[in-house]
Amino acid sequence: MTSTRDNADLTRVGPGTLMGELMRQYWIPACLSSELEPGAPPIRLLLLGERLIAFRDDQGRVGIMDHRCPHRCASLFFSRAEGDGIRCIYHGWKFDAEGKCLDMPNLPADQQFADSVHAAAYKVAERGGLVWTYMGARAEPPPLADIESLALPEHERVTRVHQRQCNWLQALEGDIDTSHFSFLHLGKVEADEIAADSLHRFNLTDRAPRYHVKDTDWGTMYTAYRPAGTGQVYHRFSHFIFPFVTLPPDGTFADHVQAGVWVPMDDTHTMVFTFFWTERSISLRLLKDGSPIPGSVSPMEYLPNGNGWHERWRLKANLDNDYLIDRAMQEGGTFSGIEGLVAQDQAVTESMGDVVDRSREHLAPSDRMITLTRRRLLNAARAWREQGTVPPGVDQPEVFRRARAGAFLAPEGQDWHEAYLENLERVVGPSWPRAAE
C-alpha cells in the first residue's frame, strides 16, 4: 500500500513539490511543433501546474513563457503577434521569444528601461515533431532525451496526442501494467481465434503470468513470462524511463519501437504523446482471418480544440459520455464494450478519480512493476532534494537507448535478463537510427 504522504509526493507536480522539482531537471514536451505557426497568436499551455503561453515568431523562433506580462500581470495570451515577438495589448510592451522586453511604447524615450525587464521564459528546443522546454534552474540545460523512437526519421514516425483527465501517474501506470491486457483489451478473445503466428496467443493461453522486475540506469524494467511449450518461454518486456516515459510491450521485440510520454499539465490532467515506428508492424492484434480483434482499433476522434487551459486534444469518447460504452457490445462482442485501446485505458484510469487514493489499493504480485516504479521515483526525487543527487539520465541520456520493449521467445532456463540483452544485441545494430548530436 502506498501511504498518503507518498501518494501526495508522487502525484503533486507544481513548483516546489517533490515530483515537480524532479521533473524540472529534464526537458519536457510542451506541444506539437505543428501547433505553433509562424506569426500566429499564442496558445495557452499548462505544464507542471504552471500557466504559460507559447508562440512562434515570424523567423520561426519559439517562445514559452509565463502568461503574465511582467508589467501589470495581464495575460499575454491576448497579445498581438508582431514580427520578432508578441506585444501585450494592455500597454503595448513587446517581448521576444526569450522573454526580453523590446519596446515600452507607453513611456517617453528617456523613461524606458526595457533592458532590465524580462518575461519569465523557459529554454526551448524542437525534436521529434515536438517543442520541448527546460523548466529547471540550470543556466546551461542538460541534453535532450535520447529515446529510440524520437531518433526515427520523420517519415518513419507517427505521433499521436491526447489528453487524460486524471493525474499523470495513474495514467502512466496503465502502460507498465501488462496484466490488464488479457482482460480489458482481449478478455472476450480465445487463444484459438488468434492468428497462428501471433505471439499474443500466449497472453490468452495463460492469463496469469509471472514476473521479473529490475531497477535500471534509465528507470525500471520488467517481463511478464509464460510457458510457451517445446522448451520455450514467452517474454513480454516493458520499461519505465525517467521522468515520465513508458515503452509498452505491444509488439515483437525485433520491430516494436514505441514510446508514451505522460506529461503532467497539472495534478489532475495529463497530455499524452505517443510515438510509433511506421516501417514495421507494431500490431499483433489480429484474428486468424487477418481482421483486427473486436474493439482493438478505433480512430482517434477529438472534440474541437478551444482556448481554455484544458481544451487541447480532448477525445470525443470521454468521462462525460462514459466513453461511448455499448453494453450490448460488452455482452456479445468485447470485454469492455468500449471501442479502441486508448479509450479503454482512458476509461479505467480516469474512473479512479482525478487523483487515485492509493491507500485503498490491495496490490498483488502482478503489480510488482508498479510498486518498484513508485519506489524508484520517490527515492530519486528525495535523493535530489536532500543530497542533490542528479536524477537518472539527466546528464547521461544515452542510457535511455538501452531500453527496448516487446515480446520474444527464449529457451527455457535462460536467465531473463540475459535473454533481454541477447535479443537487444541481435536487433539493435550499427545501422539503427541514432539520436541527433
pLDDT in tens, 396-429: 999 998 899 999 999 999 999 999 999 998 887 5
CATH 2.102.10.10 domain position(s) in the chain: 27-134
Mean pLDDT of 142-150: 91
- Whole-number Å distance between alpha carbons of 420 and 407: 10
Percent of the chain at pLDDT above 70? 96
Strand order in the sheet with 130-134: 27-32, 130-134, 121-127, 62-66, 50-56, 43-47
**Do 254 and 277 contact (CB within 8 A), yes or no?**
no
DSSP state of 89: T
| Of residues 68, 44, 45, 46, the one with CA closest to residue 120 | 68
Say how many CA atoms lie within 13 Å of 39 toward its Cβ. 4
Helix (H, G, I), strand (E, B) or coil at 210: strand
What are the pLDDT digits (tens) for 379-402?
A: 999 999 999 999 999 999 999 988
Q: What is the pLDDT of residues 235-272, one digit of tens each?
A: 999 999 999 999 999 888 988 899 999 999 999 999 99
Mean pLDDT of 119-139: 96
Cell output for 29: 514536451
Query: Is the backbone peptide bond immediately before 243 cis, with ω within 30 degrees of 0?
Result: yes
On whether the CB atoms of residues 174 and 345 are closer than 8 A, the answer is yes
The cell for 67 is 502568461
What letter would DSSP give residue 204? Answer: H
Dihedral angle sign, alpha carbons of residues 285, 288, 291, 296: negative
The whole-number pLDDT of residue 285 equals 61
Instruction: Give the C-alpha separation, 203 to 186, whole Å.
Output: 9
Q: What CATH number labels 27-134?
A: 2.102.10.10
Looking at residue 432, its pLDDT comes to 46
Enter the pTM of the model.
0.94
